[in-house]
Amino acid sequence: QVQLVESGGGLVQAGDSLRLSCAASGRTFSNYYLGWFRQAPGKEREFVAAIRWSGGPTYYAGFVKGRFTISRDNAKNTVYLQMNSLKPEDTAVYYCAADLSILAGKSSYWGQGTQVTVSS
């Protein structure tokens, strides 16, 4: 059974940094993309960033604008999202996802989400 377990969310002030982690287990992800989505109150879930488990380029939403970095540690089966220069509009529940079609906004697997709150 696939499990994606996020951690690292919290309450921070504008301009601060956070690093989210997603521990993946339950299958081989070699051809999968692992990524992050977020959902703010009253808004639809949106794509944030993705990385292919086997390596290659990274992908980001436009609003990231160089502030976020996605990375992976295959030995730990973990994907990270380093978020710098956080803004109040980054406040959302952040979800880890895994799928072959993440770049199309789809995912077969989701984590439970971790809350990120950025105060002004």
pLDDT band at residue 118 using 50, 70 and 90 as cut-offs: very high
pLDDT of residue 65: 78
pLDDT of residue 48: 97
Q: How far apart are CA 8 and CA 119, in angstroms?
A: 17
How confident is the model over 73-102, as pLDDT tens digits?
989 999 999 999 999 999 999 999 999 989
Please, is 51 exposed, middle or buried when counting C-beta atoms within 10 Å of its C-beta (0-12, 13-18, 19+)? buried
Does residue 1 register a pLDDT over 90? no
Q: How far apart are CA 13 and CA 21, in angstroms?
A: 20
Residue 42: phi, psi to the nearest 5? Answer: 80, 5
Please, is 40 exposed, middle or buried when counting C-beta atoms within 10 Å of its C-beta (0-12, 13-18, 19+)? middle
CA distances (Å), origin 90, targets 12, 25, 67: 11, 27, 11
Instruction: Say which amino acid occupies 5.
Output: V
pLDDT band at residue 105 using 50, 70 and 90 as cut-offs: confident
How confident is the model over 19-75, as pLDDT tens digits?
999 999 988 888 899 999 999 999 999 999 999 988 889 999 999 979 999 999 989
